[in-house]
Structure 1
Amino acid sequence: MDRRETAALLAYIGRLDPRTIRTDPGEARDQLAQWHELLSNEDDDVPMATTHGWDARVVARRHIRTSPYQILPADVVRPWVSYRRDRLARHSDPTPPVDPDDQVAWTAALVSTRRAVAAGTAQPEQARAITTGRDGVDPKLKARLREIGSCIPPAARASLAPYRPARAAREAALAQGLPDALSVRCEWCLAQPGEPCRRRRIGPDDGARGTTPRATPHPGRLDLAAAQQGQQTEQAQQTAVA
């Protein structure tokens, strides 16, 4: 806030609260110098108004309406500090449009954005919420997934196959048109749908000593998945005939 804006703010306050008016030229000059010294600061200059919700006149009017005490410069500075703190708390640093290997430019871009947000000349950048469920997927992403068939490229899928044999066996079976064994519960090892079958080691007391994942499902689980697939196919045919 420059000296002229400070004088305008004091004139506005004087119209609302005549107690702040100084009729003596010397006292008026000292009052202006005091307010200007306290409102203007190199690190935290209080502006008259910003484009995003701050107005020193509104703050002064609110104080005069609600407080019986004569307004002081601190009654304007404190709301400004709260305004800055609130904006910075709602700001999440966006990725600067500079080379990330240039540390000086990267830091300067972050500092410049934060100062603009704190000064009220730019809006805080909110972090994007993580969407869940089918309704939260971007339509463009849906179209892209339908086009390529999977979010994992084929080369990456082939490279990952040795490290997840159960998933690779399941994908190979589905590609051949075989029933999805992992879509049903295994009656032998009690693996839930979506989980691979496990090999149980039985101790002398007939208790399970440990379990390790199997690359292929148990035969009984395959038979159960095939029966379920047959039922679904039969129901689909009956529905189509009806």
Structure 2
Amino acid sequence: MERNEVAAVLAYIGRLDPRTIRTDTGEARDQIARWHELLHDVPFATAHGWDVREAVRAHILDSPYPILPVDVARKWRAYRRDRLDRHTDVTPVADPDDPAAWRAELLSNRHAVAAGTAAPSTYRQLTSGGPHPDVEARLRAIGSCIPPTVRAELARYRPARAAREAVVAQGGPDALSVQCGWCHARAGEPCRQRRVGPDGTHRGNAARTIPHPSRVDLASARLGQQQAA
């Protein structure tokens, strides 16, 4: 910030917190000089989320102490660190056989992101939205993320799941879609083989390949209700 911008920031702070106002001309000049010394490399505002007035307002709302220039400088450094943490270097357009130009372009991009003049590159982050139209069309054609040929090859390695999928394909109920009332296995989890010892305590917790009959009956009733609706 330039001196006139620092003076504008101090005037804004004075309106929000009168304790910082300096009425003497010499004191006001010294105050501007001290603030400018610490904030000369801090921008007044950027196009990507930084505004020194927002940092000042947040401090006054959160802290009972008068704001100092170091408080603003620390918020700016935190803002820079956050932007760089969210940034992924874009492949430079410079010739990779020219290491100096390659490095200079990388550093230039990073400095622009840190200074708030460019947005972080987030191409490696998860973004909102549905799948690509090509993927949607393929899923509709196949009916599943796993093609039938691959599913058939996997069947011998997971017989319990294969039997469950075969029952559902024939219009039968999916027993694992409901909670088991016998062993209390949650929906999506296999039933458990619970054994009770002579002292009344439960022993063993092995997964069953076949759901409990009561769970199958409950899934059948649920499926009948859905079909009737």
CA contact (8 A) 2:180 2:215 kept: yes
Partners of 2:158 and 2:89 lie apart in 1 by 35
* 1:78-119 residue CA offsets vs partner (Å, 9 max, x unmatched): 252434652342341225337xxx9x89x9465443222234
> Deviation at 1:137?
4.6
Of 174, 180, 188, 1:180 maps to: 174
- TM-score normalised per structure 2: 0.55
SS at match of 1:226: helix
Partners of 1:110 and 1:154 lie apart in 2 by 46
Give the share of equivalent positions with the same residue, in percent: 48
> What runs of 5+ residues in structure 1 fail to find an aligned partner?
1-54, 237-242
Partners of 2:9 and 2:224 lie apart in 1 by 77
CA contact (8 A) 1:186 1:192 kept: yes
Partners of 1:129 and 1:158 lie apart in 2 by 34
| Match status 1:59 vs 2:52 | no
Partners of 2:150 and 2:221 lie apart in 1 by 33
For residues 64 and 215 of structure 1, do their structure 2 counterparts lie closer, same or farther at Cα, with a shift above 3 Å needed? closer
> Deviation at 1:222?
1.8
Q: What residue number does 1:69 align with?
A: 29
* 1:30-56 residue CA offsets vs partner (Å, 9 max, x unmatched): xxxxxxxxxxxxxxxxxxxxxxxxx53
Give the paired residue count: 172
Q: What residue number does 2:130 align with?
A: 138
For residues 113 and 187 of structure 1, do their structure 2 counterparts lie closer, same or farther at Cα, with a shift above 3 Å needed? same
Of 77, 84, 87, 2:80 maps to: 87
Q: What residue number does 2:120 align with?
A: 124
Residue type at the aligned position of 1:94: T
* 1:140-164 residue CA offsets vs partner (Å, 9 max, x unmatched): 4783544443334556655665665
- TM-score normalised per structure 1: 0.52
Residue type at the aligned position of 1:118: A
CA contact (8 A) 1:184 1:224 kept: yes
Q: What residue number does 1:221 align with?
A: 215
Residue type at the aligned position of 2:130: D
SS at match of 1:93: coil
Segment of structure 1 superposing worse, 85-94 or 206-215? 85-94
Matches within 5 A, 1:164-179: 165-179=159-173
CA contact (8 A) 1:201 1:209 kept: yes
> What runs of 5+ residues in structure 2 fail to find an aligned partner?
15-21, 23-27, 43-72
Matches within 5 A, 1:3-152: 56=2, 59-62=5-8, 65=11, 68-70=28-30, 71-72=32-33, 75=36, 77-78=38-39, 80-81=41-42, 82=73, 83=76, 85-91=78-84, 92-94=86-88, 96-97=90-91, 108=103, 111-125=107-121, 137-138=129-130, 140=132, 143-144=136-137, 145-152=139-146
CA contact (8 A) 2:88 2:120 kept: no
CA contact (8 A) 1:197 1:218 kept: yes
> Deviation at 1:173?
1.9
CA contact (8 A) 2:88 2:124 kept: no
Q: What residue number does 1:189 align with?
A: 183
**Structure with greater Cα Rg:** 1
Partners of 2:163 and 2:216 lie apart in 1 by 12
> Deviation at 1:220?
2.8
Partners of 2:203 and 2:142 lie apart in 1 by 44
> Deviation at 1:181?
0.9
CA contact (8 A) 2:6 2:35 kept: no
Partners of 2:155 and 2:6 lie apart in 1 by 68
